Structure 1
Amino acid sequence: MKVDKRNPWHWLWLGLMTFNALLAVLLRRFIASNNQVVLYGHKLNGNLGAIYRESLKYDELSLTYLTMDYPYYRQLKRQGISVVWAGSPQALKLIVRAKALISDHGLHSLVLLLDYSSLRFIDVWHGIPFKGFDKDDFKVQHRYDEIWVASEFMADLYEKKFGFKRQKLKATGYARTDVLVNPGKISRDELMREYDIPVTDRKVILYAPTWKQDDAERSLYPFGMVETEFLRELSQVAEEHSCIFLIRMHMNASQGSKQSENIYAVPADKYPNTERLLLLTDILIYDWSSIVFDFLLLDRPAIYLDVPPPFRKGFSLDGSYRYGEAVKDLAEFKLVIAESVETLEAGLPSIDEQRETIKTLVYQHYADGSSSDRACQEVLRIV
């Protein structure tokens, strides 16, 4: 859960979790741990969600998601998820007895257990970044016991650019990408209903920019356009080329995109499962968003906005890791969309040598649909 500093409920929930964390530090000295594993992140999605779902196949594993967000806790409870609210006595019991904790963001007040308990900490992170990180950006994760990454290539990046010790890094693949490699029997109509989109055979184009990052003046819309102008142009393109647009802003950005007959907002807070959204996507439009590295595995056309990067510290992976058609202005944007839709309608394959090169570099042999299972095997080793 992201803490809204203006929301008094969030402060209360954080305070209760902090109280539990402090008590757990004390009690763990006297109570033996069991084989339970805690999952902690903003939402039970991405790598955490994939590992949790895979763990249900193992009788030997007991994974429980911990959340500060009380309404979200109630929602997951109704779905039959093994979940505990962080402000409850059950949360205290869980973190006192757990053997390990797996996270994909920060820890909030659970950071107290890093230095003052035997709880093992594992990081699985939440995206392959363009953004330039350095050692200072991972001060908490440097204190973890293990860091699980997408490939040996990413392990090299973590060691050389982010300052991690190599012995802490383990290539498991990105668990959340398994569904992109092996989607199973997921129908297009089912996915459209899941995202509250009227069922249609029109091509689906996803617009997924990153947020302002380190540039406070950065716009979420390209070519100097404001939201109403940009959405009006998208609506016109949708009519002309019989397609629909989905708008997915970064979770840190405003979610105010309006909807029309041909444009649908699919914000992350309402629709947290990004991978299933990508399965529905025929064409991706991006700028510097890490979502494009997941989309790599679908071998579908992408269009990138040739706009300045909003990163104060430069790059982790630079512009040479972007693929697809580059567009610099509105005219190019509309032309490339038209050509991409026509190519798909004609049933022609999306051939992109740059995409294949990047996919091989970033994922190596780990994008095989078995990353969740490898992660669960690692959990078994730990517990």
Structure 2
Amino acid sequence: MKIHKVNPWHWLWLVLLTLNTLLAVVLRRFIASDNRVVLYAHKLNGNLGAIYRESLKYDELSLTYLTMDYSYYRQLKSEGVSVVWAGSPQGLILLVKAKALISDHGLHSLVLLLDYSSLKFIDVWHGIPFKGFDKSDFKVQHRYDEIWVASNFMADLYENKFGFKREKLKAVGYARTDVLINPGAICRNELMREYDFPVADKKIVLYAPTWKQDDTARSLYPFGMVEAEFLHALSQMAEEQNCLFLIRMHLNATSEHRERFDNVYTVPADKYPDTERLLLLSDILIYDWSSIAFDFLLLDRPTIYLDVPPPFRKGFSLDGSYRYGEAATDLAGFKLAIANAVETSEAGRLSVDERRKMIKTIVYESYADGSSSDRACKELFRIV
């Protein structure tokens, strides 16, 4: 859960989590742990969500999502998810009895358990980054017991650029991408109804830029256009190309457009946290420097990148040579790229150009095989 500084409930929930954490630090000295595993993140999605769903196949694994957000707790509880509210007595029991904790962001006050307990900490992160990181960006994660990464290539990046010790790094794949490779029974019309889109035989174009990052003056819209101007242009293109545009802003981008435009829909991360289901629905991706491109890479579908300046103060983790698709440098080129992508035949959509294939091979190696969640669960067997 992201803490909103002006929300008093969030501060109360953080205090309750802190109290439970302090009590857990004391009680763990006297009470033995069992095979329980805590999952902790803003939402139960991404790598954590995929690992949780896979774990349900095994009686020997007991994974429980811990959340400070009481409303989100009630939602997940009604869906039958194994979830505990962090401010409750059940939250305290979970922290006392757990053998391991897996996270993909920060820890809030749970960081106390890093120093004062035997709880095993595992990081799975939440995206393969363009953004430049260094050792100082992972001060908490450096203290974890294990870091699970997408491939040996990513392990090299974590060691050489982010300063992690090699013995802590384990290549298991990115669990959240399994559904992109093996979607199972998920169908297009089902997804369109889930997002409340009109069920129609139209191409779906996803616009998913990164947020301002380290550039506070950065616009979420390209080519010097303001929000209404850019979304109006998308609406016109949708009419001309017989397609739908979806707007997916980064979780940290709070701005949502207020004006409504025909054939342009927003799919905010707080309401629709499962990015992979959204990618399965999308026929075309538009991105700039967002890590979402590395997930969409596995679908072999038309992609357009906006050739805009990167908003990263520390340079790159993976630089511009890892971008793929058709580049758009201005509005005219963008419109042409959209037209080309919409007209791509089914055979062309499934084809793999050499650049995309090269990037996919480098970044994922052999780990993009639909079995990353299973490998993660096998690692948990070893630990618990």
User: Which whole-Å CA distance do the structure 2 matches of 1:26 and 1:260 have between them?
Assistant: 56
1:290 corresponds to: 291
1:177 corresponds to: 177
Q: Is the 8 A contact 2:305 2:323 kept in 1?
A: yes
TM-score after normalising by structure 1: 0.99
TM-score after normalising by structure 2: 0.98
2:356 corresponds to: 355
SS of the residue 2:156 aligns to: helix
2:25 corresponds to: 25
Q: Aligned residues, how many?
A: 383
Residue 11 of structure 1 pairs with residue 28 of structure 2: no
Q: Could you tell me how far 1:347 is from its partner in structure 2?
A: 6.0
Q: Could you tell me how far 1:200 is from its partner in structure 2?
A: 1.1
Residue 266 of structure 1 pairs with residue 267 of structure 2: yes
Residue 312 of structure 1 pairs with residue 302 of structure 2: no
Q: Is the 8 A contact 2:84 2:90 kept in 1?
A: yes
Letter in 2 for 1:320: S
In structure 2, relative to structure 1, the CA distance for the partners of 1:129 and 1:370 (3 Å cut) is same
1:382 corresponds to: 383
User: Which whole-Å CA distance do the structure 1 matches of 2:335 and 2:53 have between them?
Assistant: 40
Q: Could you tell me how far 1:254 is from its partner in structure 2?
A: 2.1
Q: Could you tell me how far 1:349 is from its partner in structure 2?
A: 4.2
SS of the residue 1:132 aligns to: coil
Q: Could you tell me how far 1:351 is from its partner in structure 2?
A: 3.9
Q: Is the 8 A contact 1:301 1:350 kept in 2?
A: no
Q: Is the 8 A contact 1:244 1:262 kept in 2?
A: yes
Q: Is the 8 A contact 2:232 2:261 kept in 1?
A: no
1:130 corresponds to: 130
User: Which whole-Å CA distance do the structure 2 matches of 1:56 and 1:254 have between them?
Assistant: 34
Letter in 2 for 1:338: A
SS of the residue 1:65 aligns to: strand
Q: Could you tell me how far 1:57 is from its partner in structure 2?
A: 0.1
The 5-angstrom pairing of residues 92-131 of structure 1 reads 92-131=92-131
2:324 corresponds to: 323
1:151 corresponds to: 151
| CA deviations over 1:125-145 (Å, ceiling 9, x no partner) | 000000000000000000000
User: Which whole-Å CA distance do the structure 1 matches of 2:308 and 2:315 have between them?
Assistant: 14
| CA deviations over 1:29-59 (Å, ceiling 9, x no partner) | 0110011000000000000000000000001
Q: Is the 8 A contact 2:121 2:146 kept in 1?
A: yes
| CA deviations over 1:45-83 (Å, ceiling 9, x no partner) | 000000000000001000000000010000000000000
User: Which whole-Å CA distance do the structure 1 matches of 2:345 and 2:303 have between them?
Assistant: 12
2:301 corresponds to: 300
After TM superposition, where is structure 1 displaced by more than 3 Å over at least 4 residues in a row? Answer: 344-351
Percent of paired sites with the same residue: 80
1:247 corresponds to: 247
1:218 corresponds to: 218
The 5-angstrom pairing of residues 45-124 of structure 1 reads 45-124=45-124
User: Which whole-Å CA distance do the structure 1 matches of 2:62 and 2:72 have between them?
Assistant: 21
Q: Could you tell me how far 1:346 is from its partner in structure 2?
A: 8.0
Deviates more, 1:255-264 or 1:81-90: 255-264
Letter in 2 for 1:356: K
Q: Is the 8 A contact 2:102 2:123 kept in 1?
A: yes
Listed as ranges, the gaps of 5+ residues in structure 2 are: none
SS of the residue 1:245 aligns to: strand
Q: Is the 8 A contact 2:208 2:287 kept in 1?
A: yes
Q: Could you tell me how far 1:340 is from its partner in structure 2?
A: 1.1
SS of the residue 2:278 aligns to: helix
Q: Is the 8 A contact 1:40 1:65 kept in 2?
A: yes
The 5-angstrom pairing of residues 175-214 of structure 1 reads 175-214=175-214
Q: Is the 8 A contact 2:300 2:349 kept in 1?
A: no
User: Which whole-Å CA distance do the structure 2 matches of 1:350 and 1:229 have between them?
Assistant: 34
Letter in 2 for 1:308: P
Q: Could you tell me how far 1:195 is from its partner in structure 2?
A: 1.4
Q: Is the 8 A contact 1:299 1:350 kept in 2?
A: yes
Q: Is the 8 A contact 1:133 1:162 kept in 2?
A: yes
SS of the residue 2:345 aligns to: helix
Letter in 2 for 1:125: W
SS of the residue 1:121 aligns to: strand
Q: Is the 8 A contact 1:247 1:257 kept in 2?
A: no
Q: Could you tell me how far 1:149 is from its partner in structure 2?
A: 0.2
Q: Could you tell me how far 1:348 is from its partner in structure 2?
A: 5.7
